Structure 1
Amino acid sequence: MDLETRRQFIHMSGLATPFYLLIIKIYFGNMAPAFLLAIMLAIGYFVASLYSKGVKLPLFSQLIDMAERERSKVTPGRGTFRFYTGALLAYILMLVFNKPYFMFASAVLVLAMGDSASTLVGVRFGRNKIPYNKHKSIEGAVAGFSFAFIGIFLAQVLIFAVSPLYAVIISVSASFIGMLVESLPLPVDDNLSIPVATIVFLSIIF
């Protein structure tokens, strides 16, 4: 398995995030997931700082060596930090807008599944470039939308007991805005822009 494929599968593993945070929320209250994400970011920053100074901790260092591009090892874990920072921002916005948890879950699933699928498919099969962003492909965008839609829909119906019709509307809306933002040539990292834009969009229209 090549490096980019490993990176995207690790990125896709982030789809578990809204589900274990839901358990934390149920048992410890609304603010607990935010505190946990902040703690995870602090620990990750500490480990990455040690790694950049030549101190390699077991398991963590192996993950960095396995998943990071060589040029990124000077400041390892940036993608992971941004993923969880994006999740933290989306969760805070969910609380601010007083929206149901499944909207936060949708925002994270778009990032974990849609962004990863669009990259994997785009790199390998992307032939038709998006007119306003030559670094992205239509094939990748379609794959990202499809994977995000399926993941969000199943989560809405099976985990959050949302009605199928409403789940379709939420899934289409979240997947569309997430992949639209992913396709734009923005200066902001996708890990931040996708979940934030998705939760804001869902909060406005629902």
Structure 2
Amino acid sequence: MRAGGGKGEMGIPGKGGCRRSLSPPDIAADWQSRLILEMRRKAIHLSGLSVPLFLLLFGRGFATGFVALALAVSLILEWQRLKGRIRLPEVRAQEEHKVASFIYYIAGCLFCLLFLPEMIAVNAVLLLSLGDTISGLAGSVLANADVRSRRVLWGCKPLSIIAIMFSGCLLIGYLASGITRLSFPVYLAGAAAATAADGVCIIINGMGLDDNFSIPVFSGLVMAVVAAAL
């Protein structure tokens, strides 16, 4: 949204390319609508908390099998969706003709389970499921948050969202450290890496790298390197 002609108004595109103004009540209603939609998406996002839970309760083998099965089923559903045979709820408009974010989400979780130490995998998936939820909710009511849809290489989210994401991830790492026993430098590095993956758009072959994959993978790899160096 951009500033409109009057004080306290915002302009949005209208029919024929014209811009119309929104009054403060309309702006508040628009923000509320976007926030509610993002909350519905993130409610599904939070289902990823089952991954660290299963890892802690049942071990790596069970958790890996569970996520691998979930990925296989999701790939079949996504194939059917892209063929136009089914419609899945909460898929973003810009994902209508491309692989949806939930595929990258599950793939990122599976990568962590396969290649990272267990407690680092736990923290990395928590940064994805909880940290990205915090960032998404903040971005739903703040301007210029969706840097990936703009396809600008190295585009960055606003500093306010970056600060919220980093603070949230650092808090998550601290609270989880009672279980993971990760040291402060390790989960600090993970928080920084997750924030970078969330806040900076990397374009590969004209497509933005999905942060549902890059957040757990990048933060997990960085934490593994720092833990090995200590």
Fold match, TM over 0.5?
A: yes
SS in 1 for 2:157: strand
User: Which structure 2 residues correspond to residues 112-131 of structure 1 after superposition, within 5 A?
Assistant: 112-125=129-142
**Partners of 2:39 and 2:156 in 1: CA distance:** 18
Aligned to 1:89: 111
Q: Does 1:103 align with 2:137?
A: no
Please, which runs of 5 or more residues in structure 1 have no aligned partner?
none
Aligned partners of 2:189 and 2:226 also within 8 Å: no
TM-score (norm 2): 0.67
User: Which structure 2 residues correspond to residues 183-202 of structure 1 after superposition, within 5 A?
Assistant: 183-187=199-203, 188-202=209-223
Offset at 1:90?
A: 1.7
Identity %: 23
Residue number among 69, 82, 92 corresponding to 1:69 in the alignment: 92
Kindly provide the CA deviation profile for residues 161-190 of structure 1, in whole angstroms up to 9, marking residues without a partner as x: x2xxx5433332211111022222213211
CA distance change for structure 1 residues 126 and 172 in 2, over 3 Å: closer, same or farther?
farther
Offset at 1:84?
A: 1.0
User: Which structure 2 residues correspond to residues 15-164 of structure 1 after superposition, within 5 A?
Assistant: 15-25=49-59, 30-53=60-83, 64-65=88-89, 67-74=90-97, 78-94=100-116, 99=117, 101-125=118-142, 134-157=155-178, 159-160=179-180, 162=181
Aligned partners of 2:51 and 2:67 also within 8 Å: no
Instruction: Give the alignment's Cα RMSD to 1 decimal.
Output: 2.8
Aligned to 1:170: 186
TM-score (norm 1): 0.74
Relative contact order (C-alpha < 8 Å, sep 6+): which is higher? 1
**Letter paired with 1:5:** M
Offset at 1:105?
A: 0.9
**Letter paired with 1:93:** F
Please, which runs of 5 or more residues in structure 2 have no aligned partner?
1-32, 148-152, 204-208
**Partners of 1:141 and 1:17 in 2: CA distance:** 25
Say which structure is richer in helix: 1
